[in-house]
Amino acid sequence: MPLVRAILRHAGERPHSPAFRTEGRVLTFGELAAAAGRILHAIEQAALQTREQSVLAGRVRLIALETGNHPLFAAAFIAATSGGNCAALIDPHLPDSSRQRMKEKLRPEIVIRADGDHLCLDVPSVGQTLALETFDGSSAIRIGDDAEPFLVVFTSGTTGDPKAIIRDRRSWRLSLETGQEFFGIGPETATYAPGPLAHGLALYALVECLAAGAEFVGARHFEPRQALDVIGGAGTKRLVLVPTMLRRLCEQAKGAALTSVEKITVAGAKLTPADRSAAARAFPAADAIEYYGASELGFITVAGADDNHSPTAVGKPFPGVRLTILDDRGNNLPPGETGTIFVESALISEGYIASGDGDGFRREGRLATVGDLGFLDGDGTLHLIGRAGGMVLSGGNNIYPSEIEAALLAAPGIQAAVAFGLDDPDLGSELVAILQTNRDRFNRQALDRHLTAALPRYKHPRKVWLCQEMPMTASGKVAAGRLRQWIAEENGALERLF
């Protein structure tokens, strides 16, 4: 069912039922529909002043949402994805320079930003900013066509700037219909998902809840003690989060059990056996389900309590998804042999808005891939061996080492830089870096300031070593394998910076 139709139905049948809760502020379904209508009216009025069309010119109006986890996010999202509109989600916690480049690429007609507890609308083409309260009136939210683009999300690129992925309505409608039955989501499934709503995991959980008529509980910032209070106080039945957040909740629970939680959905990294044991103690009534997916491909696999939980296993295909493993020549590989993971499903995105960076999403007929490597075992379980482009998955965040290396090399006094992930029982992988510096020009404080300006905090290396001279391979590349070995054996060729 289209999201707008579901919202209007819930607003008509259950107007006083809670729909969206964050930071103690609750919007019922009736209030949510009304707020979405007011925001849509403001969008339409502000758009009359625009003098340039977006990158989607001729298809839909493009609205950039740069609000973060604002109490009005859900209403703004419904308005920005109403028929004839497409929402582009931009994380306000990214560096200013990154966000500016994202907007320059998209050229949105309207940008909606947070202004404290309020919202404001920018019209970039005329350099005007208007407060939402400036507009008096409401418009009817509309159902869009299946083939109409409605959502642009960003995923990390292998050469720095995030890549813009565009989705049509049909793929998400099919995903929601399948997922509602598979995950058992109904009006009673109040869900806590504290992650950033500009990213796929929490955003999808929000839309799942609104479509099913369930309450969504979010947070502007994740703090474990506060989170446990919210979960217990709201009678939350489902958690949707990354493993790092689940670990923090279990640690904070300190032996106490929250029996209201019946379902836990985890993505972004694998749960360890210790994670599952801790979750069983803190949330004894909950079934934990993990899924592996990609913004470009949608759901790929799922794994429940009784499935294979070996270090590489990521589950069996999501309903309606077919997997195949191909070699470099496009030949099918038998079970047990590693190659590139290809997906065939109706959940695949349209791809990137602008040209990519040469890696990531590509199609081969009906199949699509993001370049991840893996194999299928005899019972159809997918094993993930390597992430596309050497991507590091740390605390549920996708990080490409080449982006980090480029940022480090731009810092004063850095001659060479290598970044990669080391296994970490908490984060999945820990981002580290090794630097070769010009000691006369290198300054630790200057490096810290540079990284703060260039990268979001989660992309900062957690450990850094200095190397007087990088080891090289015969082909003239930095010998990253030898550097890893030096770290493991605490070789004196490396000096720990922090």
Same domain, 377 and 413: no
Taking only the tens place, the pLDDT of each residue in 431-458 is 999 999 987 788 899 999 999 998 999 9
Can you give the residue range of the structural domain that contains 28?
1-220
d(CA 14, CA 37): 18
Per-residue 3-state assignment (H helix, E strand, C coil) for 205-226: HHHHHHHHCCCEEECCCCCHHH
**pLDDT at position 473, please?**
61
Sign of CA dihedral 348, 352, 358, 364: positive
CATH number, domain with residue 457: 3.30.300.30
Chain segment 228-257, per-residue pLDDT in tens: 999 998 889 999 998 889 988 999 998 889
Is the Cα dihedral 290, 291, 292, 294 positive or negative? negative
The arithmetic mean of pLDDT across residues 393-400, rounded, is: 84
The string of pLDDT tens digits covering residues 188-214 is 999 999 999 998 899 999 999 999 999
- Mean pLDDT over each residue of the chain, to the nearest integer: 90
- Whether the pLDDT of residue 216 is over 90: the answer is yes
- pLDDT value of position 475: 45
Q: What percent of the chain has pLDDT over 90?
A: 66
pLDDT score at 159: 47
Q: Is the pLDDT of residue 35 over 90?
A: yes
272-326, pLDDT tens digit by residue? Answer: 887 899 999 999 999 999 999 998 999 999 999 888 887 788 999 999 999 999 9
**Confidence tier at 355 by pLDDT (50, 70, 90):** low
Residue 170 sits in the same domain as residue 43 = yes
- Model's pTM, two decimal places? 0.84
119, amino acid identity: L
* pLDDT tens digits, 63-98: 999 999 999 999 999 999 999 999 999 999 888 888
Q: What is the pLDDT of residue 309?
A: 80
Residue 161 reports pLDDT greater than 80: no
Q: Does any domain span residue 227?
A: no
Q: Could you report the per-residue pLDDT of 478-487, keeping only the tens digit for each?
A: 788 789 889 9
Residues 376, 406, single domain; the answer is no
In the chain, what's the furthest Cα-to-Cα distance? 70
The DSSP secondary-structure symbol of 28 reads E
110-117 mean pLDDT: 94
DSSP assigned state of 368: E
Domain boundary among 365, 388, 411: 388
- Judge if 366 and 416 occupy the same domain: no
What pLDDT does 388 receive?
Answer: 64
| 27 in a structural domain | yes
Helices and strands of the chain, counted as H and E runs: 12, 29
Helix-helix angle 73-80:200-212, to 10 degrees: 80
Last residue of a domain, one of 205, 220, 235: 220
Kindly give the pairing relationship between strand 382-386 and strand 313-317.
antiparallel
Q: Give the whole-angstrom CA distance, residue 145 versus residue 404.
A: 40
Residue whose tokens read 């939350």 = 236
Contact 385, 402 (CB under 8 A): no
Same domain, 340 and 441: no
The β-bridge partners of 397 are 394
- Which alpha helices (DSSP H) does 220-313 contain, by range? 224-233, 243-253, 273-282
**Residue 33 vs residue 427, higher pLDDT:** 33
Residue 129 pairs in a beta bridge with 122
In sequence order, the 6+-apart residues with CB closer than 8 A to the CB of 482 are 471
Q: Average the pLDDT over 121-147 and give the result.
A: 95
Instruction: Look up the CATH number of the domain holding residue 317.
Output: 2.30.38.10
Minimum mean pLDDT among 14-23, 373-382, 465-474: which range?
A: 465-474
Q: What is the CATH number of the domain that holds 94?
A: 3.40.50.12780
- Tell me the chain's radius of gyration from C-alpha atoms: 23
Nearest to 468 by CA among 429, 495, 432: 495
**In a domain? residue 465:** yes
What pLDDT does residue 155 have? 82
Burial class (CB in 10 A: 0-12, 13-18, 19+), 45: middle
pLDDT at position 476 is 55
Note whether 357 and 489 are same-domain residues: no
Q: Mapping DSSP to helix (H, G, I), strand (E, B) and coil, where does residue 127 land?
A: coil
What is the tally of structural domains in the chain?
3
Whether the pLDDT of residue 488 is over 70: the answer is: yes
Q: What is the mean pLDDT of residues 396-408?
A: 83
Q: Is the pLDDT of residue 59 over 80?
A: yes
Specify the pLDDT at position 477: 66
Based on the fold, state whether residues 354 and 433 are members of the same structural domain: no
Task: Report how far residue 291's alpha carbon sits from residue 498's, in angstroms, rounded to the nearest whole number.
Answer: 34
State both tokens at 348. 């695949």
Kindly state the average pLDDT of the residues 2-27: 95
What was the pLDDT predicted at 315? 94
Specify whether 134 is located in the same domain as 176.
Answer: yes
Same domain, 373 and 460: no
Say if residue 29 is in the same domain as residue 169: yes
Q: How far is CA 486 from the centre of its chain?
A: 33
Structure tokens at 254: 């300190």
Please identify, among 173, 194, 220, the residue that sits at the C-terminal boundary of a domain: 220
Euclidean distance between CA atoms 337 and 318, whole angstroms = 21
Query: Which stretch of 17-21, 186-190, 337-341, 405-409 has the lowest confidence by average pLDDT?
Result: 405-409
- Whether the CB-CB separation of 470 and 416 falls below 8 Å is answered with yes
Given a cut of 50, whether residue 158 has pLDDT beyond it is no
Answer whether residue 242 is part of any domain.
Answer: no
* C-beta pairs of 386-392 under 8 Å, 24+ apart in sequence: 388/158, 388/359, 388/360, 389/158, 389/359, 389/360, 390/420, 391/156, 391/158, 392/419, 392/420, 392/421, 392/429, 392/431
User: Is 456 found in the same domain as 339?
Assistant: no
* pLDDT tens digit sequence for 418-433: 999 998 888 889 999 9
| Pair 62, 183 in one domain | yes
What integer pLDDT is reported at residue 275 of this predicted model?
86
Q: Which strand (E) or helix (H) includes residue 88?
A: strand 85-89
The verdict on residue 228 lying in a domain is no
| Domain presence at residue 446 | yes
Hunting for tokens 């997922």 — which residue is that? 179
Mean pLDDT of 215-231: 93
Within-domain flag for 247? no
Residue 229 lies in a domain: no
